[in-house]
Amino acid sequence: MKFTKMQGIGNDYVYINCFEESVEDPAELSKKVSDRHFGIGSDGLILICPSKVADCRMRMFNADGSESPMCGNGIRCVGKYVFDHHLVEKAEFDVETAAGIKHLKVTEEDGKAVLLTVDMGIPEVTSQVPEPICVNGKNYEFIGISMGNPHAVYYMDDIDSLDLEVIGPGFENHERFPERTNSEFIQVISPEHIRMRVWERGSGETWACGTGATASAVASALCGRTGNTVKVSLKGGNLTIHWDREGSGHVFMTGPAVEVFAGELDINNL
């Protein structure tokens, strides 16, 4: 099976072109290819599939095999793949996801996509603003935002000191979130700039999360910590998030996508 390894500011996935390949059990394949010792190594698996309602369809599986409806960094990489490999022949196109159809716009250099802007849709507030919560015996406040997948945004004075490997599962699996949640830990630098670490549902700490950055920007604007346009700095790089709050209500995410390498996988030997 042919595959492509891609990353969006360090959020890395294995991509399969299902216009040409067939994957019988993507959940199990995701667990195997994601293993950084015995597989390829990734945060999960993303299938690029034909669509009856858009230019292509994205299916995204976490490293534990669970399927997620949406991935912000992943969809930018899908956009780069279909543009660079001429599965679409235009600079603006639509991608079907389980969280709805997303519109992408490509910024290209020498015929290759280097930056992509994704219309992430209208955010949904899913909590009080803010809402108290006790995790691992400590009291916090969070803002719940859905971007087609669930997020809980927490504000901290120092995110670098957090031991997410220890505390992350308690946030992800808290009884307040019966379907588990993605958890974003935010340090506000200025009204135009926030830093973020993320504990992703089903994958643990990752270098970046596009939907998480989007949710965090919306939460920060809602509670008056930032304006409606903000730079979000993650472990793997920066994203620019713009919330058209007074207009369409949609949120737009802009960031890079990189094809790292391509190869062939013997799935029988995983």
> Which residues are known to be catalytic?
71, 209
Strands 56-62 and 92-97, sheet pairing: parallel
Q: Which residue has the tokens 């304006």?
A: 227
Is 238 marked as a binding-site residue? no
Q: Two tokens at 164?
A: 């997410």
Q: What share of the chain is helix, strand, coil (3-state, %, to 5)?
A: 15, 45, 40
Please say whether the dihedral angle defined by the alpha carbons of residues 155, 10, 81 and 51, taken in this order, is positive or negative: negative
Is 200 marked as a binding-site residue? yes
Distance CA 213, CA 241 (A): 8
SS3 category, 143: strand
Is 149 marked as a binding-site residue? yes
Q: Two tokens at 48?
A: 């690029």
Is 211 marked as a binding-site residue? yes
Is 202 marked as a binding-site residue? no
Give the residue from 160, 113, 164 showing the smallest Cα distance to 136.
164
Is 136 marked as a binding-site residue? no
Is 124 marked as a binding-site residue? no
Where in 9-161 does DSSP place strands (E)? 11-17, 44-49, 56-62, 67-68, 92-97, 100-109, 112-119, 124-125, 131-135, 138-146, 150-155
Backbone angles phi, psi at 34, to 5 degrees: -75, -25
Rg (Cα) of the chain, in Å, rounded?
Answer: 18
Is 11 marked as a binding-site residue? yes
187 bridge partner residues: 195
Q: Which residue has the tokens 């930056």?
A: 115
Query: From the annotation, which residues make up the binding site?
Result: 11, 62, 72-73, 149, 182, 200-201, 210-211
For the annotated binding site for substrate, the residues are: 11, 62, 72-73, 149, 182, 200-201, 210-211
